[in-house]
Amino acid sequence: MNNPDTRVGVIGGGYAGMAAAVELAAQGIPVTVFESAKQLGGRARGVEYNGLKLDNGQHLLLGCYRDTLRLIEQVGGDIERDFLRLPLQLDLHGHFSLQAPRLPAPLHLLIALLRADGLTWGERIKAARFMLALRGMNFRLPQDITVAELLARHGQDADLTLKLWEPLCIAALNTPIRKASAQVLLNVLRDALNRTRADSDMLLPRLDFTELFPQRAAAYVERHGGKVLLSCGVEAIVPGNDGIDLITTQGAHTFSHVVCAAPPVVAAKLLHPIAELADAVRQIETLEHQPIYTVYLQYPAHVRLPHPMLGLHRRISQWLFDKGRIAEQHGLIASVISAEGIHQDLSQDELANKVISELREEFGIADGPTWFKVIAEKRATFCCAPGLQRPAQQTAHPRLYLAGDYTAGDYPATLEGAVQSGLRCAALLTLPAGPRMKS
């Protein structure tokens, strides 16, 4: 039985905050979400442009994102209707192609590696051996190292790295291989490639990211007696004897418990004045960030790519998405450029023009786009370095919890990591012997 005095304030209506709110509301706990922006979703949000629904960046979910997919269904989504589901496939246009056959995991991957186009027989065998070695190690390293070091130790040569491991690592961790944590990459490979075949499916949403979960989650929270307040940023967290006050742009509110699900930079600012949280603040402040750029280009409706999603080899555009094939937005192409790189030195026009040239050279798209839109998320994710100490969801204050993709967990900065952190906060808060305070 939940303590009737429990009232929870959640700071931030991104995937982490809304996951915590849904879980608490489902248990009958009164919850209020404070979101500073006019809309929910945070770093995974819908953006309107020229009458079209875009996202702040093209996202991809994996079949192994079980908590996110479960929550989407819990709040009224339908996974098969909301997503285009593709079985594991990697295609670097004209250079490399791998497609998993309909066989149980991990056999599907081993066969895919042994049949991959664009690798020599020697490279295919090296890649398959590497996967078997990781499985033999239970995907655990005695000590975390960089992905580049792990690949070198397992004889993955430069060509194999460029065609397979580097694109995979950047897509999964948004961190270059020379800086990326091998252990976190192995956590993702373990969950995506080693359990069931459906875990490695790639799910491309047909809805924008605000509609997909946070908006439905807000309706769910409200149906269960909670509140979701937009344009209502929290300016200070003030712990007191009778609860925790949240000072917002629209007045003060007192709660028995607070889940801070703001992005790391904001969380550090809000937590800074609370002396007992100094260690958590220090951990947050040491996080570095990595960008993601998305270039949307609207071509005439007849323009199509050969696949809904495909990569380019040694180009500025890393992944291309044909939004016509995915979401009936015909002629709309999204080019995604993840992690740090030379693209950061280009102006938005220069970047878009590079992408346009690449599309012309690779696919013979002679038409120009009628418009383009570059969305640069400069702090898209934390830089997922080896041995990173991420702050725990349970803080040194017994009634204040931290949620967010940057908090402790197996995953890199992903929707699943964010959702899992929110669920963990809800679980900690509702532990039977958990501490309670009158509001």
Nearest distance, CB of residue 376 and ligand FAD, angstroms: 9
| Closest CB to ligand FAD among residues 127, 246 | 246
Q: How far is the CB of 1 from ligand FAD (least distance, A)?
A: 29
Query: In this structure, are residues 229 and 39 in contact, taking their beta carbons and an 8 Å threshold?
Result: no
Kindly state the smallest distance separating residue 207's Cβ from ligand FAD, in Å: 15
b/e string for 64-97 if b means 16 or more Cβ within 10 A? bbebbbebbebbebeeeebbeebbbbbbbbebbb
Task: List Cα–Cα distances, 33 to 47, 69, 150, 303, 431, in angstroms.
Answer: 21, 21, 42, 42, 21
Please, what is the minimum distance in Å from the beta carbon of residue 15 to ligand FAD?
A: 4
Which of 437, 419, 430 shows the shortest CA–CA distance to 44? 419
Residues 6+ apart with CB under 8 A from 208: 45, 46, 47, 53, 54, 55
Query: Please, are residues 387 and 408 in contact by the beta-carbon 8 Å criterion?
Result: no
Closer residue to ligand FAD in complex, CB, 310/365: 310
Q: How far is the CB of 417 from ligand FAD (least distance, A)?
A: 6
H or E segment at 166?
Answer: helix 166-173
Q: Closest Cα to residue 90, out of 158, 175, 5, 192?
A: 192
In this complex, which beta carbon is closest to ligand FAD, that of residue 329 or of residue 414? 414
Q: To the nearest whole angstrom, how small is the minimum distance from the Cβ of residue 84 to ligand FAD? A: 14
Positions in the binding site for ligand FAD (CB under 6 A): 11-17, 34-37, 42-44, 56-57, 59-60, 233-234, 261-263, 266, 292, 294, 377, 380-381, 404-405, 413-416, 418
The span from the CA of 428 to the CA of 259, in Å, is 11
Of 10 and 365, which CB lies nearer to ligand FAD in the complex structure? Answer: 10
E strands present in 353-411? 371-382, 400-402
Q: Which is nearer to ligand FAD, 156 or 181 (CB)?
A: 181
Q: Is 1 exposed, middle or buried (0-12, 13-18, 19+ CB in 10 A)?
A: exposed
Q: Is 116 helix (H, G, I), strand (E, B) or coil?
A: coil
Is the Cβ of residue 118 or residue 167 nearer to ligand FAD in the bound state?
167
CB nearer to ligand FAD: give 73 or 117: 73
Nearest distance, CB of residue 17 and ligand FAD, angstroms: 6
> Whole-number minimum distance, CB 66 to ligand FAD, in Å?
13
Nearer to ligand FAD, 96 or 209 (CB): 209
Query: Which residue has 């919890």 as its token pair?
Result: 401
